[in-house]
Amino acid sequence: MNTKMLKKAALCVALGACLGALAPTVMAQSATGAIAGRANAGDQITITNTATGLTRTVTASRDGNYRLGQLPVGDYRLQLQRDGRSEGEPLSVNVALGGTTTVNLGGGGEAITLDSIQVVGSRIVNRVDVYSTETVTTVSREELARMPVAQDMGSVALLAPGVVGGNSSFGGISFGGSSVAENSVFINGLNVTDFYRRQSFSSAPFAFFQEFQVKTGGYSVEFGRSTGGVINAVTRSGSNEFKSGVEFTFEPNAWRSKADDHQFDRVDGDGTAASAVYKASHDTSSFMKANVWASGPLVKDRLFFFGMYEQRQGTYGNTNNAGTEWSRAKSDNGFWGAKLDWNITDDHRLELLAFSDEGSTDNSTSLYDFDTRAIGDLKGTSVDDGGGKNGSLTYIGQFGDNFTAKAMYGVNRSRALSASPADALCSQVLIDASYNSVYTAMGQPAVSCHPSTSTSVVDHHDERKVGRLDFEWVLGDHLLRFGLDREEMTTDRTTRYPGSTGMRYSVFAATPGAELDNGALVPGGVDAIVMGRRRIDGGVFETTANAYYLEDVWSVTPNLVLNLGVRVDGFDNKTASGASFIKMDKLVSPRLGFSWDMKGDGSTKLSGNLGRYYLPVTNIINYNFAGGLIDERTFYALDGWRAATNPVTGSGYMEPVLGAQIGPVDDSYNLPVDDLRQSVSRDLDAVYQDEAILGFQQMINQAWSWGVNATYRRMPNAMDDIRINHTPCGPVGYSLWPIANPGEKVTIWGNEDIGCDTEGWITIDTSKAGYIKGGSGEVVGYFKPKRTYKALEFQIDRAWDDKWAFNASYLWSKSEGNHEGPVNSDTNYGDTGMVQHWDHPANNQDYGPLFNDHRHQIKLRGSYKLNEMWSFGGTFTALSGGPITALGVAWPDDSTGAASFVTEGSGGGSFWHCVKNCDGTWDQREFEYAGRGWGGRMPWTYNLGANVTWTLPVDGVDLKARLSVYNLLNEQEVINQRARYEKGPGVTRGLYGTGTRWQSPRYAQLVVTWNF
């Protein structure tokens, strides 16, 4: 092959950002890319999209720089023209998602610096992107098809270093030590992140996407509203060629291993038997889906379509933990999605995206005999509805050679509805672990006529409306980027417990004389109690988020690029009446990045990034504070059990008999809505995180590269509801729960209700005051919030060359502080921004390893093509265990508990264990300190996946079958453990440290794809 042919082939498909002198765009929320580089001054560079015919031309500036921005992802043909004549052969160039492909052109129109790229057949792969200042992992649909990756965006994110699964009790993923409620997800630039809790997002089938980006740090200023990570995905589009295909996915239950059963029989410190049972070996799961897609031109070179429909069917069965009930869930839902691309002219185009992930699940619950596997009487049925319709319209215009504008409007909808015929008739009843021995002796009968023990009656609708304007202006060595965006997020939600009383009842074993949460003592002769909890809330709430940004991407020299930017955010959370109750604006986020091509040949790079990122307030705060909340607990003596008949199914069950009420109704958790001046601090500051990244990357040869980077993150503040029971006016007499910044000054309205002689604003420095200890009367404050993340990442990569590819990473990290973020994984509490971190000063006294602190992470992935018929892929993850914390219930010199003496899940807990005189009064108790991680570490977890792909070896027929096995070794190691060490001062919980969640067992998946 001659040199000219080699150079032409080498640029056929460029992956990532190649080498050049003009800095690239960092498109955090974009579904486009760019081409840039150097040529002779006055040269004209013309690119043509090989799929759609879209053509753009730009003239190199006086210093030889050229740039074409906001290009759809795909393959292009690049031609150099000089003095009206074409120079050299056309070059094939690929534009990747969110990046800039840089092509430097020689005097004859040929590509130069071929010595610093990998030549793979007819394409080149840039091993070191000397212009990127982001920490990002990009994965294409072709690469995913070669590896065993579960078909959801979260599994794609887990391929990236520093990304781990969060608390399995409420799901999600953690980026760089952050909580699961700090991430953002975008589809074609549309934000589809759940804004109610920020723990989920709208979804689409894998086959709907073309490419994914997983951003773990260093985002540009056009991106905000996240202190964790970003998943950025772009969908497929049509072309001038008609194409279509079908795909079938099978996951039968027969290909799934059984989950292990677990039983723990322990004794509490007071001699009470405590047991926990987790029966899962009978659980079943069968799933299949089929999708059909088509794409092509509606008008050649101008109007294109891509459409997909997917039908999904799933049947799931599982026992409750005790094995006494059988729950069955069935779903049969369809996804539809479409993309239209209209090239109005070569300089102006429109893109329309629409998709729906609406779905329903039918649920039923029946009695169950675990030993015989016999399904008994039906307890009840329910229906859960989720998902919604989504869409966006985007305009992109090129004005002259150097100015590009983009405008987008989009709507993201989701819903969460849950209803049962038993809702109006039946209350829910829960059996606490402390009562398990008695319940087991009863034969573990059904204790409620409601089919669910935890689901509330929910009617929830969310809608986000998005408007964006983005501009790019090339001025010599400067690329100026600026824009603004606005999101209007509306939640319409009502929630209550089922039953005629609106209460959910929990049954506990009790000891006479023990103190309850309402301050009353368990009467003599009472060995069991029932707690009735009534919780009602609802309304329509809106939050708006506005931002504008400005960035200068400056090529200081041909080898040094600086990114200088600033972003300004504003958040406005409103009440049900539309009035602002949390409003924060002028939130300035400076960003600074650099990339240095150290040798000037694109083989070695040193880069860094400094930035600040703000986190918005979720709509669950509007819902709970600006709509009012009734959250009351009433305690009763248990007067035995009586037989009852289910009014829906006619089956029998046992219901608890409520005896005498014990003490007053505990209404300290109620949140009034009439006056929010005591519900929200006037001094409220937004939560933010600062980040610093320093990285080095180098080519080993044209196929291999390696790199190392160091990351430091710090979150120096927090926002949550804080217990305030003492103000400058004196003791309140009860607890206020304002949304505020713990450890900082809190300003609320003072009046006679809280002990003030006159009305007016009062300020409490919560680092020194705000909480008065029971008994001693000592006034103390809260410990200042702090979260830090330090990480050192090593990575080596071997690019795919149509034969094999390999990537390996090792990450050492340390996530420390005294709060995880807006959720609390230690106690499985997921109400974002309203967790137990600041329910008591003892909750966050200790600074140490946090729940998502996994010191060591090893990730491997690879693929190998044996021949044209057979290929193989694999993934492997090894993750060191997180810390085990031992939470007590009290601390020195305070008669008020730091956690509930009744329930395992209420209250945050303390880092003190009572070791002497624990039965005495508060002033006689002696404690020892037990910081975060006192209980050691959970074990390492390992996950190996493998697949084999068969391709029909017939020219012109694209038929493949891929068999993937996940968790090949069937590891079922514990991934979550109980963190409650005490149930009363000096009374240990026997179940402390026992598991509550384990790895999912091995399962297999068959995917058959036929494209034509």
Give the pLDDT confidence score for residue 25 in this predicted structure: 38
Hey, what are 586's tokens? 């002028």
d(CA 564, CA 549): 11
C-beta separation of 877 from 856 below 8 A? no
Look at strands 428-431 and 503-509 and give their pairing: parallel
Look at strands 348-356 and 325-345 and give their pairing: antiparallel
C-beta separation of 762 from 756 below 8 A? yes
Alpha carbon dihedral 448, 449, 454, 459, in 10-degree steps, equals -150
C-beta separation of 816 from 853 below 8 A? yes
For residue 854, count other CB atoms closer than 10 A to its CB. 26
**Phi and psi angles of residue 625, each rounded to the nearest 5 degrees, phi first:** -105, -40
Per-residue pLDDT tens digits for 819-842? 999 999 988 888 898 888 899 999
Average pLDDT over every residue of 532-538: 90
Report the amino acid identity of residue 353.
L
Residue 880 confidence (pLDDT) above 50? yes
Per-residue pLDDT tens digits for 225-271? 999 999 999 999 999 999 999 999 999 999 999 999 999 999 999 99
* Residues in CB range of 644: below 8 A, 6 or more apart: 449, 652, 653, 654, 655
Per-residue pLDDT tens digits for 713-760? 999 999 999 999 999 999 999 999 999 999 999 999 999 999 999 999
Greater model confidence, 23 or 398 = 398
Greater model confidence, 642 or 381 = 642
pLDDT-derived band at 380, boundaries 50, 70, 90:
confident
Average pLDDT over every residue of 645-649: 89
Per-residue pLDDT tens digits for 473-498? 999 889 999 999 999 999 999 889 99
Q: What is the DSSP letter of 616?
A: P
Average pLDDT over every residue of 629-650: 93
Mean pLDDT of the chain: 90
Give the pLDDT confidence score for residue 30 in this predicted structure: 59
pLDDT-derived band at 673, boundaries 50, 70, 90:
low
Task: Classify burial at 271, counting beta carbons within 10 Å of its beta carbon; exposed 0-12, middle 13-18, buried 19 or more.
Answer: exposed
Residue 431 confidence (pLDDT) above 60? yes
In 3-state terms, what secondary structure has residue 843?
Answer: helix
Closest of 489, 407, 389, 463 to residue 189, by C-alpha: 407
Give the pLDDT confidence score for residue 654 in this predicted structure: 95
> How distant, in Å, are the alpha carbons of 521, 526, 532, 589 from that of 661?
11, 12, 10, 54
Look at strands 687-699 and 230-235 and give their pairing: unpaired
* Residues in CB range of 124: below 8 A, 6 or more apart: 10, 11, 12, 13, 14, 15, 18, 114, 117, 118
Per-residue pLDDT tens digits for 111-153? 665 444 444 444 444 556 776 788 889 899 999 999 999 999 9
Residue 26 confidence (pLDDT) above 50? no
> How distant, in Å, are the alpha carbons of 178, 501, 688, 691, 873 from that of 226?
10, 41, 9, 12, 33
Buried/exposed code over 118-145 (b: 16+ C-beta within 10 A; e: otherwise): bbbeebbbbbbbbbbbbbbbbbbeebbb
Give the pLDDT confidence score for residue 7 in this predicted structure: 37
Give the pLDDT confidence score for residue 108 in this predicted structure: 64
Residues paired with 505 in a beta bridge: 429, 532
Q: Which helix (H) or strand (E) element contains residue 392? A: strand 389-399
Task: Classify burial at 54, counting beta carbons within 10 Å of its beta carbon; exposed 0-12, middle 13-18, buried 19 or more.
Answer: buried
Per-residue pLDDT tens digits for 283-293? 999 999 999 99
d(CA 34, CA 99): 6
d(CA 708, CA 796): 9
C-beta separation of 186 from 196 below 8 A? no
Hey, what are 786's tokens? 């702090």
Residue 507 confidence (pLDDT) above 50? yes
d(CA 998, CA 165): 12
Give the pLDDT confidence score for residue 75 in this predicted structure: 85
3-state SS string over 802-834? CCEEEEEEEEEEEEEECCCCCCEHHHCECCCCC
Give the pLDDT confidence score for residue 11 in this predicted structure: 32
* Residues in CB range of 97: below 8 A, 6 or more apart: 27, 30, 31, 32, 33, 73, 138, 210, 211, 212, 213, 232, 234
Closest of 518, 673, 706, 689 to residue 615, by C-alpha: 689
Give the pLDDT confidence score for residue 561 in this predicted structure: 92
Task: Classify burial at 755, counting beta carbons within 10 Å of its beta carbon; exposed 0-12, middle 13-18, buried 19 or more.
Answer: middle
- The counts of H helices and E strands in the chain are 5, 62
d(CA 852, CA 168): 11
